[in-house]
């Protein structure tokens, strides 16, 4: 039996060939996209989005903040845009919250510091 591009063995080889900065960046973009959807930002009116789930958004934003904080030294020129995206999501979370967290207590802020 020969391997096809869809086999797990090829997936592992493909991942082995991808530079770490690209893997980290892809993971960050996936987390950013998930957080944006869970904040309802993909809909015309985020407040009425069927996808709005602040509890889930908090989890994803916190995971993103941990990833960014832990890997910032490896991200090079990607660090700035990823940090800006994270901060924008943290601000969007604060705006979407009926009772915003105190500065420093919002999602991911234990890793990034307070976001105003």
Tokens 């919002």, residue located: 106
Buried b (16+ CB within 10 A) or exposed e, 16-49: eeeeeeeebbeebeebbebbbbbbbbeeeebeeb
Within 8 A by CB and 6+ apart from 18, the residues are: none
Q: Tell me if 106 sits within 8 A of 90, measured CB to CB.
A: yes
pLDDT, residue 108, reads 97
pLDDT, residue 46, reads 85
What are the pLDDT digits (tens) for 49-94?
A: 899 999 999 999 999 999 999 999 999 999 999 999 999 999 999 9
Q: What percent of the chain has pLDDT over 90?
A: 78
């Amino acid at each position: 039996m020969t391997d096809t591009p869809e086999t797990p063995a090829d997936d592992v080889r493909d991942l082995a060939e991808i530079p770490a900065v690209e893997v980290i960046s892809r993971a960050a973009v996936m987390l950013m996209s998930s957080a944006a959807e869970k904040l309802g930002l993909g809909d015309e009116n985020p407040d009425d989005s069927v996808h709005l789930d602040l509890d889930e958004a908090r989890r994803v934003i916190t995971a993103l903040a941990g990833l960014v904080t832990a890997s910032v030294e490896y991200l090079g020129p990607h660090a700035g845009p990823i940090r800006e995206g994270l901060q924008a999501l943290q601000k969007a979370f604060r705006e979407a919250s009926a009772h915003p967290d105190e500065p420093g207590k919002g999602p991911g802020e234990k890793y990034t510091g307070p976001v105003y």
